[in-house]
Structure 1
Amino acid sequence: MDWQELLFNFVGGLAIFLFGIKFMSDGLQKTAGDRMRSILEKYTSNPLKGVLAGILVTALISSSTGTTVMTIGLVNAGLMTLRQAIGVIMGANIGTTLTAFIIGIKIDDYALPIIAVGVLLFLFVKQRKYQYVGQIVLGFGLLFLGLKTMSSGVKPLANLQAFHDFITDLSSNPILGAIVGTVFTVIVQSSSAAIAILQSLAYEGLIPLAGALPVLLGDNLGSTITAVFASIGATVAARRAAAFHVIFNLIGVFIFMSVMSFFIPFIAWLGDITGANIRMQIAYAHGIFNMTNTLIHLPFVTLLAILVTKVVPGQMKQLQFGAIHLDERLLSNPSVALGNATHEILRMGEFAKETLNDAVNYFFTRDEKFGKLALQKEEIVNDLDKKTTEYLVRIQQSSLSEDESARSSILMQTINDIERIGDHSENIAELAEFSVAHKVEFSEDAIKELKEMINLTDKTIGLAIAALENEDKQIAEQVLQNESEIDKMERTFRKNHISRLNKNQCSGNSGAVFLDILSNLERMGDHSKNIAQYVLYGE
């Protein structure tokens, strides 16, 4: 046996397969755009809808890992509750079975022409949407080419007695099979790849159905490790979502392992009556496992949420995600609806101000906790920006008085200014991250100047929000005075820092970061001034 050829074919085939599925998934995500994230945010109001959203998104992006990590990101940002995430994760487990069914179709022989079509579209067509289609087709072809290469590589194992003995142990010891599947999936970091390899081994006659199904269950359990990695350093809620993913699959594997003596004959019978090859039989088993497991868990979502709360203890400051004042029933009364929109905008302003405070704390303390909080709150600001704007657009479709129309226009502009304050705060958080990563140090004078300008900017944003809330022109005038002072500080501190740079008192990196922070603070002052002017002049 040529071990080098076997190893090269297997490792190379696995690499081509993983690249193909990643390339295809990226193409699908580019085609789908932000719609996938929007689906997860909007259509998860109850666990059943969450399951359906998880199935749809996973089927469209061809990656349960992508869906699960995206879901944990939304939980981490406060845009999704743990209960909603549980439904999505269950749906993602069902959606991922599509890949196994695709692999079950024997089209390996057409991998090269499929790749050729993909390359033509990807490289030689100028329209971006067709390039994305080409990327999907190319990834699809590479997936099957990798599978074919792996299959040809493992064929010689059929003549190896040690391999036969190992497979015999797997067939007679389901627990060993599940452990092997779990470990292998953890190693390759892709349950789709692990299951595809299992399908290839089975198709080549190297492993019987009785040995393959326990390994399949282990593959599902091993897939949870990615979610665990994604949750490291995240919020308590995000870690709980990852814990549910582990518990969900662990319970499912335990149930199916206990009925393995019935499960194996059932899948064999299903394969016989449908005339399916063993690849497709494994796909059947994968689909039945995940669908049954979801149906078992779905009625107990609330209890499962309580369970993972016990498993992952900890106090968490729950960020109130989503809009809380935008009542659609009040759209028929524009005056009241505008009042509600104003309350939501004020709430958005508070989040934008908190984003700045967290970003600044990250910069001075270098504690990543504050950086993550800043990014979470900035995502909430963006979410409120979209939802409040849509609400105001719907208000404007009603018959508005002249005053109501003017008020609506002002609120639209205010939303934009608050959203930009959030963006500049995010920029400061990113500059803080750069400073931490590159160990950028600042002089005492630079720190003192930054703190002085940050304090005034923070105070000015707070005054602008207060002026808007109370329609207080006196406070608005104070905002204009503060903004003028911020502009003077920016010019003075910029000159001071350039002088320090010329005297080699600061490094190039520290100089760039310092000046960028000044610019972001000055722009926040400008947006605060805009809000104050709306209060003063109504324009």
Structure 2
Amino acid sequence: MVVSFALINLAGYVALLLWGTHMVQTGVQRAFGPHLRTFLGSALRNRLSAFLAGLGVTAVLQSSTATGLMVTGFAAGGLVSLMPALAVMLGANVGTTLIVQVLSFDVAAFAPGLILFGVVMFRRDSSTRMHDLGRVFIGLGLILMALHQMLTLMAPIEDAPGLKVVLGAVSTLPIIDVLFGIIVTWAFHSSVAVVLLIMSLATNGIVPPEAAIAFVIGANIGTAVNPVLEGTTNDDPASKRLPIGNLLNRILGGLVALALIDPITSVMTRLDGDAGRMVADFHTFFNLVIALVFFPLLGPYSRFLEKILPERAKADDPARPIYLDNAAKETPIVALGGASREALRLADMLETMLRGARESLAKDDRRIISETKRLDDILDSLNTAIKAYLTSIDPDELSEADHRRLNEVLAFTMNLEQAGDVVDNNLLPHAAKRLKRGLTFSKEGQAELLALMDRLIANLRTAASLFMTEDPRAARLLAEEKVAFRDAENAATSAHFARLRTGRLDTTETSALHLDLLRDIKLINSHIVAAAAYPVLERTGDLLPSRIVASGE
């Protein structure tokens, strides 16, 4: 009964350790996520800077998985080649050992102070970044408290006969220890937490040094399993190159370490008599050796991965999302970046629809209208996928800036989808009506409509660029284009009425159709402006709530 309660308490402290690690990671991501991603992206120029960037970012995030997701996003977009991406992962693997090194010392006395300081920052400071940093300090305090309680709890039960029998049997089989370490790390999704747990077991003498080292080997392999299994929903083998490459080098290092486990245990024990420190030192030593061995071989290693995992020709299904990676939702800044890239596909699809609609006004070809109408289904499908993806992200993981960007992506896709509906339900049926009735626009009327369509396509391109840059100057230009577009519509309408007065037959027959098309084009332009310009202007305070002049008191 005593042992049962002790195991329940141990499970609770392990959960507290995991939660503390989670708080530190999410706090850092919310406070510095976009800056870390920008820093990481700019450091991918060569192997050395990529390695150091991976080490530094992971030491701050306490998660090589989060770093890996960022790099995978760069690699998927063709922004970085495989070699520097692998260098980042080597640095990330070393970076995870730094926090373990710090916590391997007796720093439990700082836990209450860290929690107190974090709570004060979390509750009192109005700054969003300081609020998030408060989470970091609370998480660090919880980690230290959990480690201290585990050490205290394990001391009385290390002499339990049943536990000694089980651990004694396991400790004689290092391969079982490695497999156990892989499974536990895969389940916990945190090699830092697992290695800290192994340190506690080793410090209390519950596992011998050889078994502790085998557990650490398993933990280092297990942390590379999750990205392979969950890293991407894309079935293209090329998308698996980075996580599989990271897993392979850890497996190779683990096999070598397992074969040399006896001399390694002897050397590590002589270097540091403290069992907990020995575990932390081996964890760092293991990752440093792998980095030193593979770093000069990254060129041929990346070519080997590209050979065994060739890029598969993408299926010709434009309605299928490309950049919505489910695993990236654990790192909001990466998930939002993928959703933004997917949103640009909507802009490309809408531009194709607008070009088809323009041709339908200039040519007597029903095939163009039918092909263009089918594109609206693709637009709707992509918009639905993006909305489902973004709304499935845990809102508690999002910072204020993340919430703003999420809403901007949703507004952009919604307005583009509505613009597509106007093309599908209004503009194209009017073009089909013209063909069915055998009507022909006047030369001047057709030129006016085509000029407005060209202007509409140009505005859409500006909106797509603005969506990514969020530049206030470009937002003002696009918003002013709405006024210019309204003036152009008014001028076209006045010119149309002027032609009507002359009694020209081609103008009289197409009068209602011409005016309907002008209103449709203007409505599409309104959706385009609202998609990209309004969110930026609203954030900068340059968007008026109403065009109506306020009445004086």
CA shift at 1:235, angstroms? 7.4
Provide the secondary structure at the position in 2 that maps to 1:96. helix
Provide the secondary structure at the position in 1 that maps to 2:272. helix
- Change in Cα spacing, 1:98 to 1:79, as seen in structure 2 (3 Å) is same
285, 288, 299: which one pairs with 2:285? 288
Deviations 1:62-101 (A, max 9, x none): 2222211222222234333322211111110000001211
Q: Is the 8 A contact 1:184 1:219 kept in 2?
A: yes
- Which residue is equivalent to 1:95? 95
Provide the C-alpha distance between the structure 2 equivalents of 1:183 and 1:281, rounded to a whole number of angstroms: 22
Q: Is the 8 A contact 2:351 2:457 kept in 1?
A: no
509, 520, 533: which one pairs with 1:489? 520
Provide the C-alpha distance between the structure 1 equivalents of 2:517 and 2:205, rounded to a whole number of angstroms: 75
Provide the C-alpha distance between the structure 1 equivalents of 2:89 and 2:52, rounded to a whole number of angstroms: 10
- Which residue is equivalent to 1:73? 73
Provide the secondary structure at the position in 2 that maps to 1:105. coil
Provide the secondary structure at the position in 2 that maps to 1:207. coil
- Change in Cα spacing, 1:490 to 1:466, as seen in structure 2 (3 Å) is closer
Deviations 1:191-248 (A, max 9, x none): 1111111111111110111110011000011101332244221474432111112112
- Which residue is equivalent to 1:266? 267
Provide the C-alpha distance between the structure 1 equivalents of 2:48 and 2:185, rounded to a whole number of angstroms: 28
- Which residue is equivalent to 1:504? none
CA shift at 1:464, angstroms? 6.2
- Change in Cα spacing, 1:8 to 1:168, as seen in structure 2 (3 Å) is closer
Provide the C-alpha distance between the structure 1 equivalents of 2:415 and 2:287, rounded to a whole number of angstroms: 43
Kindly indicate whether residue 301 of structure 2 is the aligned counterpart of residue 304 of structure 1: yes
- Change in Cα spacing, 1:463 to 1:299, as seen in structure 2 (3 Å) is same
User: Aligned letter for 2:163?
Assistant: F
Q: Is the 8 A contact 2:459 2:528 kept in 1?
A: no
- Segments of 5+ residues of structure 2 without an aligned counterpart are 315-343, 353-374, 391-406, 432-449, 463-480, 490-515, 535-553
Larger mean Cα displacement after TM superposition, 221-230 or 153-162 = 153-162
- Change in Cα spacing, 1:450 to 1:212, as seen in structure 2 (3 Å) is farther
User: Aligned letter for 1:314?
Assistant: E
Larger mean Cα displacement after TM superposition, 245-254 or 283-292 = 245-254
Q: Is the 8 A contact 1:111 1:142 kept in 2?
A: yes
CA shift at 1:363, angstroms? 3.6
Q: Is the 8 A contact 1:424 1:521 kept in 2?
A: no
- Which residue is equivalent to 2:253? 252
- Which residue is equivalent to 2:62? 62
CA shift at 1:173, angstroms? 1.9
Provide the C-alpha distance between the structure 2 equivalents of 1:186 and 1:131, rounded to a whole number of angstroms: 31
User: Aligned letter for 1:245?
Assistant: N
- Change in Cα spacing, 1:366 to 1:33, as seen in structure 2 (3 Å) is closer
Count of paired positions = 402
Kindly indicate whether residue 348 of structure 2 is the aligned counterpart of residue 354 of structure 1: yes
- Change in Cα spacing, 1:30 to 1:464, as seen in structure 2 (3 Å) is closer
Larger mean Cα displacement after TM superposition, 289-298 or 229-238 = 229-238
Aligned pairs for 1:151-300 within 5 A: 151-234=151-234, 236=236, 237-272=238-273, 277-300=274-297
Deviations 1:377-425 (A, max 9, x none): xxxxxxxxxxxxxxxxxxxxxxxxxxxxxxxxxxxxxxxxxxxxxx988
Deviations 1:122-143 (A, max 9, x none): 2233444443443222111101
- Change in Cα spacing, 1:162 to 1:2, as seen in structure 2 (3 Å) is closer
Q: Is the 8 A contact 2:101 2:281 kept in 1?
A: yes
Q: Is the 8 A contact 2:51 2:89 kept in 1?
A: yes
Q: Is the 8 A contact 1:486 1:522 kept in 2?
A: no
Deviations 1:426-460 (A, max 9, x none): 7455789xx9xxxxxx9xx989417849x999975
Provide the secondary structure at the position in 1 that maps to 2:87. helix
Provide the secondary structure at the position in 1 that maps to 2:45. coil
CA shift at 1:108, angstroms? 2.3
- Change in Cα spacing, 1:461 to 1:227, as seen in structure 2 (3 Å) is farther
Provide the C-alpha distance between the structure 2 equivalents of 1:109 and 1:284, rounded to a whole number of angstroms: 22
Q: Is the 8 A contact 2:27 2:132 kept in 1?
A: yes
Provide the C-alpha distance between the structure 2 equivalents of 1:78 and 1:14, rounded to a whole number of angstroms: 40
User: Aligned letter for 1:265?
Assistant: S
CA shift at 1:356, angstroms? 4.9
- Change in Cα spacing, 1:490 to 1:120, as seen in structure 2 (3 Å) is same
Provide the C-alpha distance between the structure 1 equivalents of 2:382 and 2:129, rounded to a whole number of angstroms: 42
Provide the C-alpha distance between the structure 2 equivalents of 1:51 and 1:74, rounded to a whole number of angstroms: 15
- Which residue is equivalent to 2:327? none
- Which residue is equivalent to 1:16? 16
CA shift at 1:165, angstroms? 2.8
- Change in Cα spacing, 1:521 to 1:115, as seen in structure 2 (3 Å) is same
Q: Is the 8 A contact 1:182 1:222 kept in 2?
A: yes
- Change in Cα spacing, 1:451 to 1:487, as seen in structure 2 (3 Å) is closer
User: Aligned letter for 2:79?
Assistant: L
User: Aligned letter for 2:87?
Assistant: G
- Which residue is equivalent to 2:112? 112
Larger radius of gyration: 2
- Change in Cα spacing, 1:446 to 1:134, as seen in structure 2 (3 Å) is closer
Identical counterparts, % of pairs: 22
Deviations 1:162-182 (A, max 9, x none): 422332234332211110100
- Segments of 5+ residues of structure 1 without an aligned counterpart are 318-349, 376-422, 436-441, 468-475, 493-516, 528-539
TM-score with structure 2 setting the length: 0.62
- Which residue is equivalent to 1:402? none
Provide the secondary structure at the position in 2 that maps to 1:34. helix
Provide the C-alpha distance between the structure 1 equivalents of 2:192 and 2:295, rounded to a whole number of angstroms: 24
- Change in Cα spacing, 1:466 to 1:148, as seen in structure 2 (3 Å) is closer
417, 425, 442: which one pairs with 1:449? 425
Q: Is the 8 A contact 1:51 1:89 kept in 2?
A: yes
302, 309, 313: which one pairs with 2:310? 313
Q: Is the 8 A contact 1:58 1:64 kept in 2?
A: yes
Q: Is the 8 A contact 2:119 2:134 kept in 1?
A: yes
User: Aligned letter for 2:299?
Assistant: T
- Change in Cα spacing, 1:429 to 1:450, as seen in structure 2 (3 Å) is farther
Q: Is the 8 A contact 1:7 1:153 kept in 2?
A: no
Q: Is the 8 A contact 1:194 1:219 kept in 2?
A: yes
Provide the secondary structure at the position in 1 that maps to 2:113. helix
Q: Is the 8 A contact 1:111 1:145 kept in 2?
A: yes
TM-score with structure 1 setting the length: 0.64
Provide the C-alpha distance between the structure 1 equivalents of 2:308 and 2:217, rounded to a whole number of angstroms: 23
Deviations 1:95-130 (A, max 9, x none): 000121122011224422332222223223344444
Q: Is the 8 A contact 2:346 2:379 kept in 1?
A: no
User: Aligned letter for 1:6?
Assistant: A
- Change in Cα spacing, 1:132 to 1:425, as seen in structure 2 (3 Å) is closer
